[in-house]
């Protein structure tokens, strides 16, 4: 069985969606670890309630991203982790993890990449006035919000939408799309070819 580690920094609503999918056996894998860079993250409470092992690493104790990731690697090796899932993890992943877990790190982004990269994607799309935004699940590579795209889903922005209502729409789609992408990975159905990802 594949062992999954979920990296979170905050509220953990995507983590909750993943926990739910694993419990319902939609994802046939073991949620072995939830790792956070923030000891106050509500995601840690969600993990503990679900009986998942947790770990917190304080970024203030490490000079570089690489040092932080080297520490994270110890926990991953200990739990024999096969797949890393980033769920609201607010740190850049360094080559230390990317090289060790090539095409085995997933991220979810609240926009249709390559549009609106970065941490304010929902607001940026809303402020720009686009009519359609969405959600992207992709593999992580050395560049931010750049790796091969696994799944995307559009979200229509209506005239009466506020930033708050758009955020709710985005999160609702995220909670469906992320477990689906993880399921495809776990079942060995994703094949990376250059920038493309085929579902086989």
Lookup result for tokens 């941490």? 119
Question: From CA 12, how far away is CA 146, in angstroms rounded?
Answer: 23
Question: Which helix or strand (DSSP H or E) is residue 83 part of?
Answer: strand 83-86
Question: From CA 169, how far away is CA 96, in angstroms rounded?
Answer: 35
Of 109, 138, 146, 171, the active-site residue reads 109
Question: From CA 2, how far away is CA 122, in angstroms rounded?
Answer: 32
Is there a catalytic annotation at residue 109? Answer: yes
- Retrieve residue 113's tokens: 């990449």
Question: From CA 114, how far away is CA 117, in angstroms rounded?
Answer: 7
Question: From CA 21, how far away is CA 15, in angstroms rounded?
Answer: 10
> How long a stretch of residues is the chain?
200
* Degrees to nearest 5, angle at CA 37 with 35 and 8: 50
Gyration radius of the chain over CA positions:
16
Q: Which of the 8 DSSP states describes residue 110?
A: S
Catalytic residues: 109
């Amino acid at each position: 069985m594949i062992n999954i580690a979920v990296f979170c920094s905050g509220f953990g609503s995507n983590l909750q969606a993943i926990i739910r999918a694993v419990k319902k056996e939609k994802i046939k894998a073991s949620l072995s670890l939830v790792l956070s860079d923030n000891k106050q993250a509500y995601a840690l409470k969600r993990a503990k309630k679900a009986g998942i092992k947790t770990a917190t690493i304080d970024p203030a104790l490490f000079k570089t991203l690489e040092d932080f990731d080297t520490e994270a690697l110890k926990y991953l090796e200990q739990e024999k982790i096969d797949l890393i899932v980033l769920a609201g993890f607010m740190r850049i992943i360094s080559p230390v993890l990317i090289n060790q877990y090539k095409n085995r790190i997933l991220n979810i982004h609240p926009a249709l990449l390559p549009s609106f990269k970065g941490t304010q994607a929902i607001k940026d799309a809303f402020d720009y006035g686009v009519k359609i935004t969405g959600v992207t699940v992709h593999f992580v590579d050395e560049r931010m919000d750049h790796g091969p795209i696994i799944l995307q889903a559009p979200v229509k922005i209506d005239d009466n939408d506020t930033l708050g209502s758009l955020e709710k729409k985005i999160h609702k789609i995220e909670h469906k799309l992320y477990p689906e992408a993880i399921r495809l990975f776990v079942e060995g159905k994703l094949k990376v070819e250059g920038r493309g990802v085929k579902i086989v």
